[in-house]
Amino acid sequence: MTAVRSLHSVSVPRTERAAEQPPAARLVGVGIHDVVHDRATLEWAVRDATPGRDQVHVVHAYVPLRLDGCAWPPVTAVRDRRHVAATRVIAQAVQRAHEGHTGLEVGGSAIGGLPDDVLIELSHVVDLLVIGDDSHDPLIARKITTRVQEHTYCPLVCVPRDYFPSAAPRPVTVVADDAGLLEPVLAFATAVARRRGVGLQVSRAWSSLHEGRVTGPGWLAEQQSELDAQLAGWRAACPDVAVSARLELGYSWLDRLRAASSLLVTSTRSVDLVRSPGDGDASCPVAIVPV
């Protein structure tokens, strides 16, 4: 069961003046294993970047040979071989990123270190970090995604490796918890929706409703009104983005959202809400915004 109510944008003069200012340039970091595994990750990042304004930097973390100070030729050969292999991965990724994206500034670096450590450090430098999502891969024991989600310094987008964007436009969905809406999360989701030319959907997952505390339709209407009231100011501030609000009931609400959204957005404190495994065809990228 899902309660849905459309919200109509209301323009305000102050917002119109602010909207005239061009968006700030962004540094977009992309962490990859290789071009084959992270094709969807790389494509999501370059599609979200704006040519002529944003900079995209692809990084590949590799484990260097830990024999510092040793100049023995066999050691040097192995050290160089690892670095060359990592550099080749970056060169292929940068070439792939340029295909079909003329005017986009793309660079890359092969960085020695554990992938999660490298990505967390990179999140201190960039405005957006995009990585592949390995959280549901049964063949990977050390989940890089989970640790980076919990420690990222900047907004983080995790893209499933089998993800293919839908040809039909789908909204960006903010997944809120019982504590309510957070401005940094709404701001990030609105910016993505604006760049993609889609609507913004705010979904509140009422975990308490699964525990038998629903008091009837009147109670649900009251909760919907409260959610609408929380969004009233945001609607006025963003008249160019269509906004809708919904309450999610039932145990399959997350799969429904995945199937109907182009991106799920939540905060670091609510990341567990979007971590449950989804059906393959219903998977979609997840964005985590630090608060």
pLDDT in tens, 197-231: 999 999 887 654 445 455 566 666 766 677 777 77
What is the pTM (predicted TM-score) of this model? 0.87
Termini Cα distance of the chain: 30
Closest CA to 256 of 235, 231, 284: 284
State the pLDDT at residue 114: 93
State the pLDDT at residue 220: 65
Q: How far is CA 154 from CA 89, 93, 126, 142, in A?
A: 25, 22, 7, 22
State how far the Cα of 264 lies from the Cα of 108, in Å rounded to an integer: 27
Q: Please, what are the domains in the chain?
A: 2-21+165-289 (3.40.50.12370), 27-160 (3.40.50.620)
State how far the Cα of 49 lies from the Cα of 105, in Å rounded to an integer: 9
Q: How far is CA 173 from CA 3, 71, 140, 155, in A?
A: 15, 54, 28, 15
Amino acid in position 151: H
Strand partners, 201: 173, 244
State the pLDDT at residue 177: 77
Tell me which residues of the chain have a pLDDT lower than 50.
Answer: 1-19, 208-210, 212, 280
Encode pLDDT of 151-169 as tens digits: 999 999 999 988 888 888 9
